């Protein structure tokens, strides 16, 4: 704080000294004296402490127009124009979105046809599966009947047939034996010839062969044909059972594939329908009407980073604040307070506010909001000082002020009662110490003083002066140098006083 005061005093002196006096200083000390030079009588007074910052006016209540789509601005209402509720503020370029909508609608037509085709194929497959399953079931039933027929009818009949063949062959063998015996007896009695005997013997041998053949046929059937035919019939039943299982599984797989295709087309159709719905909503959002009456202000006054994009052809994105419609009936001022001064600011402190539009009007205000988190400064400009956002309300309504315009805010942060105070112009810093020039009627006397708290005009004097002392509002040493030289010398002296 001391260094700041020193720099401030040097700047005041270097900036011209005498020419910068205020009228209230003269009213406190009287008209200039000491050979026309300005002076001030030291008095005890209440020192008002003021924190002064520059800021921006804004409406306390405003409606933000947030973009719900992305794209380029095709049409844009002029900033500062008064609009009515429902009036179009922004129109985004819809060509790309409309083309995408047409593509989706074409996909709907194609997918609808594909879904119908897939549904028809599913129905056909259901019928084919029923036919194939019934055919396999019939094959199984036929095989089972064939097995039962073989076991219950064919085999017994064949057994009876072969056994009967044996019996018939044995009977014929007996008859052949009897015929041979008769032929031999008749040959002995010469009632037959030897040829008849030979024929009888041949018939006997043929009958014996027939018996052996019949027995061999039965043995072959019993040992070979019967087991083989049984296995064939049983195998046919097993194969028919497997065929039925295969037919059912094949039917399940085929119908699952058809159902999956139908479901796939339904999902694709539903997805495209959802895309159409979203695209239509996006098209609707690309036309942005005014939700209420107001005056158009581009961007967000609190975050004016993307205002340069708000123009015809500018790229905007979802959730971007395009405009603000402020309600100018109630106004507020926003300032950024240095981190070293933020502890001095309290809620409810009074303030005086002036606008660049109405410099001759002072509005009363009050602190209503103090930021809890400091910003990071303006690093791109080399300013790393942290500041806190402070908001003040302006008393009164319909003040005829414009949001976004610059303003000067003086927060009355307190008072220091009953202190010796002198104007800032009366204090000078030399060689690390502070001095005043006390007028005693003769040559001015340089007096070391200890400065204390200060505001924009006065500084407290803790020691070095007493009430009633008269101090000069200029450095007489610099003034004497100026009197001795010409105007160029005076300018040179002023230049040498600058820090």
* Fold of the domain spanning 2-58+329-496: Elongation Factor Tu (Ef-tu); domain 3 (2.40.30)
Cα–Cα distance, 164 to 217 (Å, whole number): 11
* CA nearest neighbour of 18 among 435, 488, 478, 456: 478
Whole-number Å distance between alpha carbons of 468 and 33: 16
Query: Is 398 in contact with 329 (CB distance < 8 Å)?
Result: yes
419 in Cβ contact with 44 (< 8 Å)? yes
Q: 57 has which bridge partners?
A: 333
Is there a common fold for 2-58+329-496 and 98-283?
no
Strand partners, 419: 45
Listed in sequence order, the residues at least 6 apart from 337 whose beta carbon sits closer than 8 Å to its beta carbon are 51, 53, 345, 387, 388, 389, 390
Which of 463, 427, 466 shows the shortest CA–CA distance to 446?
427
Which strand (E) or helix (H) includes residue 324? Answer: strand 321-338
And the tokens for 199? Answer: 């024929």
In the chain, the N- to C-terminal Cα span, in Å, equals 17
Q: Is the pTM of this model over 0.95?
A: no
Look-up: residue for tokens 């007028």?
439
Work out the burial of residue 328: count CB atoms within 10 Å of its CB; fewer than 13 is exposed, 13-18 middle, 19 or more buried. Answer: buried
Crossing angle of the two packed helices 155-188 and 226-285, in degrees rounded to 10? 160
pLDDT value of position 295: 85
What pLDDT score was predicted for residue 328?
79
Mean pLDDT by 10 residues, the chain (499 residues): 38 34 35 60 91 90 90 92 92 94 95 95 94 94 93 92 92 92 88 88 92 93 92 94 94 94 95 95 94 88 80 92 87 91 92 89 93 71 77 88 88 90 92 90 88 89 92 84 51 35
CB contact at 8 A, 427 and 453 = no
Spatial separation of the C-alpha atoms in residues 166 and 181, rounded to whole Å: 22
| Exposure of 190 in the CB half-sphere (CA atoms within 13 A) | 0
310/306 Cα distance (integer angstroms): 7
In the block, tokens 């041998």 appear at 205
Domain range annotation of the chain:
2-58+329-496, 98-283
* CATH number of the structural domain 98-283: 1.10.287
Containing H/E element for 107?
A: helix 95-149
| Tokens (6 digits) for 169 | 């062959």
Closest-CA residue to 359 (of 418, 401, 331, 403):
401
Q: What is the pLDDT of residue 376?
A: 62
């Amino acid at each position: 704080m001391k260094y700041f005061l020193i720099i401030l005093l040097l700047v005041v002196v270097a900036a011209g000294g005498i020419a910068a006096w205020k009228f209230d200083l003269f009213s406190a000390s009287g008209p200039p004296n000491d050979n026309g030079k300005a002076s001030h009588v030291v008095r005890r007074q209440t020192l008002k402490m003021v924190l002064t910052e520059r800021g921006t006016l804004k409406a306390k209540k405003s409606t933000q127009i947030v973009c719900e789509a992305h794209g380029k601005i095709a049409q844009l209402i002029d900033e500062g124009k008064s609009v009515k509720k429902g009036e179009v503020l922004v129109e985004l370029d819809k060509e790309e979105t409309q083309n995408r909508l047409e593509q989706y609608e074409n996909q709907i037509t194609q997918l609808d046809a594909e879904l119908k085709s897939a549904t028809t194929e599913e129905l056909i497959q259901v019928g084919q599966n029923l036919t194939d399953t019934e055919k396999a079931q019939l094959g199984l039933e036929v095989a089972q009947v064939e097995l039962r027929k073989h076991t219950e009818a064919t085999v017994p009949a064949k057994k009876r047939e072969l056994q009967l063949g044996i019996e018939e062959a044995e009977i014929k063998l007996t008859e052949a034996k009897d015929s041979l015996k008769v032929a031999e007896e008749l040959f002995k009695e010469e009632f037959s010839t030897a040829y008849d005997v030979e024929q009888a013997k041949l018939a006997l041998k043929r009958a014996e062969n027939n018996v052996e053949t019949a027995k061999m046929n039965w043995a072959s059937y019993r040992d070979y044909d019967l087991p083989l035919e049984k296995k064939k019939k049983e195998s046919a039943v097993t194969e028919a059972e497997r065929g039925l299982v295969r037919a059912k599984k094949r039917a399940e797989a085929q119908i699952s594939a058809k159902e999956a295709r139908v479901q796939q087309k339904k999902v694709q159709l539903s997805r495209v329908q959802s895309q159409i719905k979203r695209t239509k909503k996006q098209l609707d959002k690309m036309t942005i009407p005014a939700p209420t009456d107001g005056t158009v202000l581009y961007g967000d006054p609190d975050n004016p980073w993307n205002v340069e994009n708000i123009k015809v052809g500018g790229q905007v994105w979802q959730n971007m604040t395009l405009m603000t419609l402020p309600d100018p009936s109630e106004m507020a001022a926003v300032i950024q307070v240095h981190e070293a001064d933020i502890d001095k600011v309290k809620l409810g402190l009074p303030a005086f506010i002036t606008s660049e539009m109405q410099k001759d009007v002072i509005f009363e205000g009050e602190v209503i909001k103090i930021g809890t988190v400091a910003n990071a400064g303006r690093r791109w400009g080399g300013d790393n000082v942290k500041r806190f956002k402070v908001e003040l309300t302006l008393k009164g309504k319909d003040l005829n002020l414009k949001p976004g315009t610059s303003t000067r805010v003086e927060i009355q942060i307190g008072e220091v009662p009953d202190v010796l105070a002198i104007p800032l112009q009366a204090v000078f810093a030399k060689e690390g110490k502070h001095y005043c020039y006390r007028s005693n009627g003769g040559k001015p006397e340089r007096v070391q003083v200890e400065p204390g708290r200060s505001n924009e005009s006065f500084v407290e004097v803790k020691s070095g002066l007493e009430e009633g002392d008269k101090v000069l509002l200029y450095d007489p040493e610099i003034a004497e140098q100026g009197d001795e030289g010409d105007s160029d010398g005076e300018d040179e002296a002023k230049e040498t006083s600058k820090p």
